[in-house]
Structure 1
């Protein structure tokens, strides 16, 4: 695949952040869009924006943090007579704080969204790509995919899964001309920060607000989108968008696991305590 022109791309979590930026970029590159997220209002507004520029968009509202949601989305796409050339599994969320501060059902929803639904959508949409002899999947991981991150314990673990799954699927499907790539952005100025802290303590919310106020918001969603989509066409097996973020991928290669854990643990403990 060397172009997005005339391809149909499904973007999950398309209502805000990186997913929204990718939808806009893909439309500008000539792709037809299938957008999904929980917010119909936000999806409809994005669809109107894209259509206003001549793009083609289909909207399916689905909460992928719910069991069975991947199958429901797949059935809606098929019922509309659509196929998917590029699947972009962007939907996800995390929590920032002590492991015991959050309820098990919150973690269950995170695992459902970040792991189970992502896996389901790969399993559901990839066979048609194989049959067609072309297609691809972009799974949005995180710089946390490479490291254990205390105080973002479950989130970093789910993102490690995303990277491992993507690399293994890439190998399995290489001869089918179906490419799989993981994109592992670092801190991004998106809705993720708000989501990560919405059930956290006031201390954590204040810390995130301080980081944003100091301009420490990392990369923009637009930059992450552009670098990710370009890397996919270049057939890279993973990318860490943004300047300086690649260090997270290399730390485990130069430090022992114990030192990596101390590095990330000390860094995040400092943030949670301030």
Structure 2
């Protein structure tokens, strides 16, 4: 069983490090002595976070990249591991969501969720994991969600991509465990971040009211997720209500779950 001191002095790559859970993960890794490679689209935010962490003694590099672009993962790899940095910790945190009716949604937004949440995460993992396997150590975190445990109407693509992330993490974890590499699916629920607003959740005021009552601090999600990662836990739901939901949905018919969720979402409009 490891502890977070195992991260000390090791390079950690955090995607989506410009806001929310990504920022919290970066700060928690830095607090435990990791060196950081921060990547996201918004360079100004990366610069601000890098300056904050550098002032506290953390070695930080930034890579501005847009993971909706197919070539972005290889570009990130080329300027990090490809340039000689030994990346032992990969945090696939970047993600997109979109509330709304699928038939009326922007096609590009639906496809971007698949590109970032699935394709880019798989591509980055495929690029960095071989080095971890060769060295006999490493840690990979996949940001899934409590939405990964059941279909979520009006958030259909997002929930499906997060189910992909969780199952990808579970399968990979079994493959690479003999080589000393830990893989964890972090499955947060409503978290204090920009996600709800950016994903168009304001169009569902009832859902917003329900979710806002139980927002979990991003710092707590990050700490619990990284503790699980270093211990080799393969799935972590970082709050009790989410754990209960993930357990209960095993025993309910999928049709009933989707009907109930759709009813709540429709009544919230």
Class of the TM-score when normalised by the shorter of the 2 chains: over 0.9
Structure 1 CA distance for aligned equivalents of residues 38 and 214 of structure 2: 26
Given the two structures, how large is their TM-score scaled by the length of structure 1?
0.92
TM score, norm. by length of structure 2 = 0.94
Q: Is 1:169 aligned to 2:172, yes or no?
A: yes
Q: How do residues 71-90 of structure 1 correspond to structure 2 at under 5 angstroms?
A: 71-90=74-93
Q: Look up the match of 1:39.
A: 42
Match of 1:50 among 53, 61, 83: 53
Instruction: Determine the structure 2 residue equivalent to 1:27.
Output: 30
- 1:240 is matched with 237
Any conservation in 2 of the 1:17–1:221 contact (CA below 8 Å)?
yes
1:60 Cα deviation (Å)?
0.4
Residue 209 of structure 1, CA deviation: 6.3
Q: 2:150 and 2:23 mapped to 1: Cα distance? A: 27
Going from structure 1 to structure 2, the CA distance change for 1:203 and 1:191 (only over 3 Å counts) comes to closer
What is the deviation of 1:251? 2.5
Aligned mates of 1:128, 1:119 — CA distance in 2: 15
- Give the 5 Å matches for 1:4-23: 4-23=7-26
CA distance in 2, matches of 1:130, 1:122: 12
> How far does residue 69 in structure 1 lie from its aligned partner after superposition?
1.0
Distance (whole Å) between structure 2 residues aligned to residue 74 and residue 60 of structure 1:
10
Q: Structure 1, unaligned stretches of length 5 or more?
A: none
- Write out the 4+ residue segments of structure 1 that deviate beyond 3 Å after TM superposition: 206-212
C-alpha RMSD over aligned residues? 1.7
1:230 aligns with one of 221, 227, 231: 227
Report the alpha carbon displacement of residue 262 of structure 1 after superposing the two structures with TM: 2.2
Provide, for residues 111-150 of structure 1, a one-character-per-residue CA deviation record: whole Å limited to 9, x for no partner.
1000000000110000000010000100000000111000
Distance 2:144 2:203 in 1: 26
Aligned residue for 1:245, secondary structure, equals helix
Contact 2:96 2:112 in 1 (8 A): no
After TM superposition, the structure 1 stretch with the greater mean CA deviation from structure 2, 66-75 or 38-47, is 66-75
In the TM superposition, what are the counterparts of 1:160-199 in structure 2 within 5 Å?
A: 160-197=163-200
Q: Indicate yes or no: 2:224 matched with 1:221.
A: no
Correspondences of 1:119-198 after superposition (within 5 Å): 119-197=122-200
Mapped to 1, the partners of 2:7 and 2:93 lie a distance apart of 17
**Aligned-partner SS, 1:87:** strand
Q: Is 120-129 or 250-259 further displaced after alignment? A: 250-259
